[in-house]
């Protein structure tokens, strides 16, 4: 088994950094393949079928990345000149190079929500109906778990209400579920329950589930057939993609069982970090595998903090003006989390905390 940390770093930058394990590599090497643009790759077909089954939807589409999956889903549900409601710090808005505008020609109508969790009450206040001055709202996108809010999880009742009320108005609901399996573990319900009333879900195999690449969009057969054409337009027709789907199938079937361990490690990090001078985090807010903490009282910028951590063998990136994000995943152990805490402790006790004014 190749060392997942060849450079010796403890890599907490993201759960995207995981490397395929031996079982995935063996499955990739022996994968049955065909031309997926002709629909002839048996491994991709199996992955899509399993994803649809697991999510309780009619069909699924294998795509190279989460960004492409979200882009396709938005395009499936909207037309140029419409509005999409989403949370102000959602991945769609902050990290996808305005694809919502660039490919789908839509405007993001953002709402700042506590813990990134939109409520129907907030949504209903900004819905627009078609009129001489208004572009209509045709889609609501919910991020579950919410990345920039530290992996927060939508309560089921909140999603159910948003779906029911939106559908009464003819508005579709998409879930950016890059980490929906983490939400499913936190809520102790299957992903199909979370996805039950949503029109589409994008989820990633390449994040907490540990596959080297790939995401899926699930929804109705009609929407997914349309999505297949958008995937080709975006250059996502991957031909013998069965080599990736083979690892993806293992990730889909086997990796969710390992997620509670990642959540425990994240809670451990949060708890220990909350005890350090200069660090601010409420450990009770850490529900899944993402730990975001404020470092303003250390007197260091996120860039300086990351740099100092790196020199102590730990990789973690800044998010926002005063915060650092650490993400636990299958390639990081409890012992490594302990070493990461020791590195932050050394840093926080070495750099004098700025006096609060």
Residue ranges that bind ligand TLP, judged by CB under 6 A: 14, 16, 65-67, 70, 91, 95, 143, 147, 176, 178, 204, 206, 215
CB of 350 to ligand TLP, least distance (A): 28
Nearest to 351 by CA among 293, 309, 318: 309
CB of 52 to ligand TLP, least distance (A): 20
Placement of tokens 């260091």 in the chain: 300
The C-alpha atoms of residue 273 and residue 281 are separated, in whole angstroms, by 7
Nearest to 336 by CA among 304, 310, 303, 313: 313
Which residues share a beta bridge with 147?
Answer: none
CB of 151 to ligand TLP, least distance (A): 10
Tell me whether residue 44 or residue 178 sits nearer to ligand TLP (CB atom).
Answer: 178
CB of 134 to ligand TLP, least distance (A): 28
Instruction: Please enumerate in sequence order all residues whose Cβ is within 8 A of that of 167, keeping only pairs 6 or more positions apart, or say none.
Output: 173, 197
Tell me whether residue 113 or residue 276 sits nearer to ligand TLP (CB atom).
Answer: 113
Tell me whether residue 18 or residue 215 sits nearer to ligand TLP (CB atom).
Answer: 215
Cβ-closest position to ligand TLP: 66
Q: Are 258 and 180 in contact (CB under 8 A)?
A: no
Q: Give the other-Cβ count within 10 Å of 8's Cβ.
A: 7
Tell me whether residue 91 or residue 228 sits nearer to ligand TLP (CB atom).
Answer: 91
CB of 127 to ligand TLP, least distance (A): 23
Nearest to 148 by CA among 325, 357, 354: 325
Tell me whether residue 83 or residue 143 sits nearer to ligand TLP (CB atom).
Answer: 143
Sheet containing strand 200-204, edge to edge, reads 59-63, 215-219, 200-204, 172-177, 137-143, 83-87, 107-111
CB of 3 to ligand TLP, least distance (A): 22
Q: Give the other-Cβ count within 10 Å of 328's Cβ.
A: 30
Tell me whether residue 293 or residue 348 sits nearer to ligand TLP (CB atom).
Answer: 293
CB of 180 to ligand TLP, least distance (A): 9
Tell me whether residue 199 or residue 348 sits nearer to ligand TLP (CB atom).
Answer: 199
Tell me whether residue 67 or residue 184 sits nearer to ligand TLP (CB atom).
Answer: 67
CB of 30 to ligand TLP, least distance (A): 25
**Exposure string for 202-225, b = 16+ CB within 10 A, e = fewer:** bbbbbbbbbbbbbbbbbbeeebbe
**Exposure string for 23-51, b = 16+ CB within 10 A, e = fewer:** ebbebbeebebbebbeeebebbbbbbebb
């Amino acid at each position: 088994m190749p060392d997942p940390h060849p450079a010796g770093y403890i890599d907490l930058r993201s759960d995207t950094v995981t490397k395929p394990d031996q079982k995935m590599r063996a499955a990739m090497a022996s994968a049955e393949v065909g031309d997926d643009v002709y629909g002839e790759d048996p491994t991709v077909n199996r992955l899509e079928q399993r994803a649809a089954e697991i999510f309780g939807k009619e069909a699924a589409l294998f795509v190279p990345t989460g960004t492409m999956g979200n882009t396709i889903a938005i395009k499936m549900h909207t037309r140029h000149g419409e509005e999409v409601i989403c949370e102000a710090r959602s991945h769609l808005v902050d990290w996808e190079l305005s694809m919502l505008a660039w490919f789908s020609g839509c405007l993001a109508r953002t709402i700042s929500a506590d813990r990134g969790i939109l409520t129907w009450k907030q949504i209903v206040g900004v819905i627009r109906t078609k009129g001489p001055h208004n572009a209509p709202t045709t889609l609501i996108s919910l991020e579950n778990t919410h990345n920039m809010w530290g992996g927060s999880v939508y309560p089921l009742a909140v999603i159910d209400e948003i779906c029911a009320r939106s559908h009464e108005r003819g508005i579709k609901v998409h879930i950016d579920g890059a980490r929906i399996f983490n939400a499913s573990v936190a809520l102790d319900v299957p992903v199909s329950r979370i996805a039950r009333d949503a029109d589409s879900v994008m989820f990633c195999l390449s994040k907490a589930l540990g596959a080297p690449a790939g995401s899926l969009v699930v929804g109705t057969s009609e929407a997914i057939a349309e999505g297949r054409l958008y995937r080709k337009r975006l250059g996502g027709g991957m031909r013998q993609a069965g080599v990736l789907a083979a690892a993806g199938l293992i990730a889909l079937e086997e990796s969710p069982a390992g997620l509670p361990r990642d959540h425990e490690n994240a809670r451990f990090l949060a708890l220990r970090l909350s005890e350090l001078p200069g660090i601010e985090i409420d450990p009770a807010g850490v529900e899944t595998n993402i730990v975001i903490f404020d470092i303003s009282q250390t007197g260091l910028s996120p860039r300086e903090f990351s740099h100092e951590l790196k020199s102590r063998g730990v990789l973690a990136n800044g998010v926002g003006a005063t915060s650092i994000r650490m993400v636990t995943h299958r390639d990081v152990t409890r012992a490594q989390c302990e070493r990461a805490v020791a590195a932050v402790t050394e840093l926080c006790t070495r750099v004098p905390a700025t006096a609060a004014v």
